[in-house]
Amino acid sequence: MKSIFDEVSAECSKITTKSYSTSFSLGIYFLDKRFHAPIYAIYGLVRFADEIVDSFHDYDKKMLLDNFKRDTYEAIENGISLNPILNAYQQVVNKYHIDKELTDTFFKSMEMDLDENTYDKRNYEQYIFGSAEVVGLMCLRVFAEGNNETYQQLKPAAMKLGSAFQKVNFLRDVKHDYEILGRSYFPGINLETLSAIEKQKIEHEIEQDFKEALAGIRNLPSGARGGVYLAYYYYQNLLHRIKKTPPKKIMSARIGIPNIWKLYLMFKSYLRYQANIL
C-alpha cells in the first residue's frame, strides 16, 4: 500500500532532520502536529542537497547533485519517488502548491557551491536568496495552507528570517567553510584578517534581518507561531554568543550552544510565547 510507503518516507525525513539539526527539530516539535511532516520533508531535501556539496568530497559532486535535482523534478511530476526523501518532498510541493521557481532557485544556490569560492555582493545575495530565503517561503506556503493573502503578507518577513538564519550559520561555520571547503561568503572581507569592525557590520546586518522577521512571526497562524519563534529565539541567542566572541576565536573554533542550554532556551521561548512576549 502506498500509504505505508508514504509513512516510511515521512519518517525518513524526520530521522534526517533529527540527525542533523537539534535546533530545527525542537522548532518543529513546537509546531502544530499537522505541520510536522511537511516541514520535516522540506528540511530533508535541503539537508541532502547540502550534504552533496559540503561533504561528499571523494565523489563526483556535480553528478550527484545533477542526479538529485533531476530525480526531484521527476518525483514532483510523477507524484512518487522510490527515494523516500524525494517522495516526502513531492507530496508537500504538490499538496501545498509550492512554486517550481522556489525549487529551481534552491538548486541554483547549491550549484554555486560547486564552483564559487569567493562571493561578491551580487553572488552573496543570490546565494542567500536561493539557499535560505526560498526555504523560508516553502515553509510559509505550508503554514499559509492555501491562503495566498497570508502568504503574500508574510513573504518579506519569511525571507528575512531565512536570511538571518543563513548569515548566523556563515559566522558559526566560518572556520570550516574557509579552511575545509575553501569558501568565503562575506563579500569584500578577507577572513584571514577579519576585524572587529567588519564582524560587527555583519552582526548588525543580521540583527536588522531578525528585527524585520519578528513582525512576521507575530502574524503567523497560531499553529506555526510557537515553533518558528523558538527557532528565531535560538538563533538570536546563537548570534549573541557570536557577538561576544572575538574575530580570531570564531576563525579557530565553531561557536555553538550546548544541548542542555538548548533545552533551557526551548523552555524559556515557550514561556515567552505563552505570555505573548514576542
CA-CA distances (angstroms) from residue 119 to 125, 177, 202?
A: 9, 12, 15
Classify each residue of 70-86 as buried b or exposed e, where b means 16 or more C-beta atoms within 10 Å of its C-beta: ebbeebbeeebbebbbb
Q: Provide the domain count of the chain.
A: 1
Task: Give the domain CATH number at 212.
Answer: 1.10.600.10
> pLDDT tens digits, residue range 65-109?
999 999 999 999 999 999 999 999 999 999 999 999 999 999 999
Q: Which of 211, 199, 264, 213 is nearest to 234 (CA)?
A: 264
Domain membership of residue 110 as a residue range: 2-274
Classify each residue of 238-268 as buried b or exposed e, where b means 16 or more C-beta atoms within 10 Å of its C-beta: bbeebeebebeebbeeebebeeeebeebbee
> pLDDT tens digits, residue range 158-211?
999 999 999 999 999 998 888 888 898 999 888 888 899 999 999 999 999 999
**Cα–Cα dist 174/202, whole Å:** 13
Confidence tier at 140 by pLDDT (50, 70, 90):
very high
Single-letter amino acid code for the residue at 101: E
Q: Which of 167, 268, 165, 147 is nearest to 219 (CA)?
A: 147
Average pLDDT, the chain: 93
